[in-house]
């Protein structure tokens, strides 16, 4: 289940609201990007490919290596959309228990 990294993503995005336009935004964008990639990995493991667009979009928008130069208002809107994206992905994406037990046995 992708709930744990999604909840951490929601927390990071809410914290990121206060860092828009500041120097700390780089670190927050790194954390948000990483959590988006982790949720994306859970999506791949669950084989629910249609949900992969949400974490990939989050990881691309908050990519700290090639950042987007957007205004503060646009970043605020994107933060709220990312919160909805993380929350939706966290509740919908579920990795089957069979896959997890097979990986442990290997």
Residue 106 pLDDT grade (very low, low, confident, very high; cuts 50, 70, 90): low
Q: Cβ neighbours of residue 70 under 8 Å, at least 6 residues apart?
A: 78
For residue 97, name the pLDDT band (cuts at 50, 70, 90).
confident
pTM: 0.83
- Return d(Cα 68, Cα 61) in angstroms, integer: 7
CA distances (Å), origin 45, targets 1, 9, 42, 57, 67: 10, 19, 5, 18, 28
């Amino acid at each position: 289940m992708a709930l744990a990294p999604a909840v951490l993503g929601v927390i990071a995005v809410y914290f990121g609201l206060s860092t828009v336009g500041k120097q700390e935004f780089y670190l927050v964008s790194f954390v948000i990007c990483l959590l988006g990639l982790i949720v994306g990995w859970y999506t791949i493991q669950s084989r629910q490919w249609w949900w992969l667009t949400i974490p990939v979009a989050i990881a691309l928008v908050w990519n700290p290596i090639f950042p987007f130069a957007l205004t503060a208002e646009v970043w605020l809107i994107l933060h709220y959309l990312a919160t909805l994206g993380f929350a939706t992905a966290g509740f919908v994406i579920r990795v089957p228990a069979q896959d997890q037990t097979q990986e442990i046995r290997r």
